[in-house]
Amino acid sequence: LQDFDFGILPDVISHFGSDKNDHFKADLNLKLFARANISDGLQVYGEVKQHLIGNLDLIPPSTNLNIPHVRSDIGRYAAEGTTSITRLNVEYIKNPLKNVYTRITAGHLESMYSGVSGEVLYRPYDSSFSFGVDINFVKQRGFDQLFSFRDYKTVTGHATLYYVNKKYDITSKVSGGRYLAKDWGTTVDISRQFSNGIRIGATATFTDISQSDFGRGSFDKGIYMTIPFDFFWYKQSREKTRFEFRRLGKNGGQKIDHNTNLFDLFASGQPYKLRSNWNRILE
């Protein structure tokens, strides 16, 4: 092994409902992760979750039969997966050409889906613009989130344009493609990273699903905050804790929750980031 990394993180999953019987709910979990780098670019990653307290299991399931239930069974996943394997996969990352990066991941990709995922990113050095494409062949996991599967499977993927405002460290992402429920649409994600490493952003997704099938609000939206793992652990790591403020259980406009995104992975090596970090050290 070239390298081995592990840690324990708090994991908060929150739901902001708006119906009388679907108000705010949340789960507090403990997440244990481990990453083993087998060789240059090849790694095995595992993540185990232990439920501590919460009530996400009370989120009511969808009764709409017009759209696949790709996320709306979250209550059953929370109830039956109190001790679960969130991720267990093999991943290979390579830089085959100048400014081109690739990733392929196979295994348990996230708590609800397993499969094979591929991503290609074109990111010119010190450019404000980047472009990426990802495609995922996935099958829905069992509610216990161990090694069982359900019948639903699909192909989902997106093309994404990235723009970085280097002065204020604001990243804008616009992606279009096919979502987990086989709907087609667009996601807009705008976020800002602060000097302490915390990132705050907002997302909105619009697809071709009808307003009645999409559910309350007619589109998917949310606010999120990511905090570097260094805040909770004794050593440096690329891991981050993510807190989201959104309505869970919608089936329209849903993507795979990847642990690795090439754009984010290589962001710290960009010249504007290095200059910013060096200036903070000098101050």
The alpha helices in the chain, defined as continuous H runs, are: 74-80, 211-214, 262-265, 271-282
Q: Rounded to two decimals, what is the model's pTM? A: 0.91
The pLDDT-based confidence of 189 (bands split at 50, 70, 90) is very high
| 215-224 residue pLDDT tens | 665 688 999 9
Report in angstroms the alpha-carbon separations of 23 from 14, 97, 247.
11, 49, 10
For the chain, the average pLDDT equals 90
| 237-252 residue pLDDT tens | 667 788 899 999 999 9
In single-letter form, the type of residue at position 96 comes to: P
The pLDDT-based confidence of 1 (bands split at 50, 70, 90) is low
Q: Are 61 and 80 in contact (CB under 8 A)?
A: no
Q: Are 85 and 46 in contact (CB under 8 A)?
A: yes
Round to whole Å and give the CA distance between 118 and 256: 12
